[in-house]
Structures are given as C-alpha cells and as structure tokens.
Amino acid sequence: MTHLMLSFLIGAFLFPLSSSWTNVISTRHQMYQARMSPSILNISGNSEVMDNGEESVQSIEDLLSPNTKCTPTQMSPTSLAYIGDSVFELFVRSRYVWPTRRTTDLQNLVVGRVRAETQSKMFRNLLSSEKIQLTKEEQTIISRGRNAGSSSGGRKRGPKRLYATNNGKKSEAGGPEVYQDSTAMEALIGYAYLTDKERCTELIKFFADELDMMDDEENVAR
C-alpha cells in the first residue's frame, strides 16, 4: 500500500510538471520560428511587423522613400537635390528605354537630357511658365538650391566644362549659373517627391512636355 501510494503521489506531481515544461518548450519554439520568419526580419523587403503584431505590407513607394522620421524641411538642399537627381534620372531612363536602342545610344541620349545645361533650360522655362505656380515653400527650396550650387571660397561647383573659356570668352555652356539652375531644379523635385507626390507628378509632367519638344526637334523616337 505504501509503494502504491508513493507511486501515485510521484505521478501526480510529475505529470503536471512535464505538461508545463512541454508548453514552455512549445511556446519557445514558436517564438524562435517567429523571430526567424522572413516577414518579421523583413528579408523579403515587402512587409514589416507593427506594434500589435500584425504585418503591414509596404508599397514600392514606401520602399523608395526615407523612413517616417524624415523631415524634408530640415534636410539640406544638397540632400534634396540628391533625391531629386535620382527621381529625374529614373524618369528620363524610363522614358527612353523603349523603343529599344543600342546601349551606347541610350546612354548618350539619357546623359544629354539630364546634364546641367538641359536641366537649366527646362528649369528657366518652368520659372517663366504660367502652368506651374510655385508656392512660397517651393520658392524657398529653389533659393536654397541655388545657393548650394554656387561657387564659394574659390571652389567651383559643377562640371568643369561649364567654366571653360574660348580665348578668354565666357563658356557658351552658360557658366556657373547653369549649375545653380540644375541644383535648384533637382532640389525642387526632391522636395516635391518627399512631401507631395501629386505635386511631383505635376512637375515631372511639365518637364515631360519640355522633352517632347526637344525630341520633336531632334527627331528622337519615343
């Protein structure tokens, strides 16, 4: 009777203990799998886990934007121009990638459209156009962009070709003002891209119309 009672007591004690440990092990295994999940680690790059544990699917627009802590008004004009340069070049590359061209021809065409001289021409047309009414904030960004593109302390900014002279005469490329225009234009695009996608679309459409006229004059297929 004593041995039977002892066995019963040991079994009654160990069973709930082993059950508890099984639950603990199972829970830890689930936590480990959760930590190693691609969606949790964001390896796939298309989802992230919110505080409530639910997944939030990220769009391509989210992935191609700075994090939510970014404050465009506090960014330097060169940083805005850095983003604007990428946005504008992607637009130009996408525009001319079809119909198919030889890689060298495509590259030369794209480079010709994104170079400072071409941007300066389009930018000045933007400033004199009645289609686009710039806000005070945009005018401030343009002013900051111009200042960032200006030479200072004897240091010349922009491509050397802009400063080239012909027998002491000013370069036909337009000089440093061209680079200032280019930087201001890119800063404006970068600011619009980060703050107002619809406004950015308006600006890009304006430049698309400008490129349409250039293409027609040069018989460029598109």
Residues noted as catalytic: 85
Token pair recorded at residue 220 = 């460029």
The amino acid sitting at 164 is: A
The amino acid sitting at 155 is: R
Token pair recorded at residue 15 = 């069973």
**Separation between Cα atoms, residue 193 and residue 207, nearest integer Å:** 15
DSSP E strands, 41-101: 47-49, 55-57
Q: Using CB atoms within 10 A of its CB, is residue 42 exposed (0-12), middle (13-18) or buried (19+)?
A: middle
Q: Please count the other Cβ atoms lying within 10 Å of the Cβ belonging to residue 172.
A: 10
**Separation between Cα atoms, residue 152 and residue 158, nearest integer Å:** 12
Rg (CA), the chain: 30
Residue 155 β-bridge partners = 152
Residue 7 β-bridge partners = none
Residue with tokens 């996408």: 94
Token pair recorded at residue 104 = 């060298």
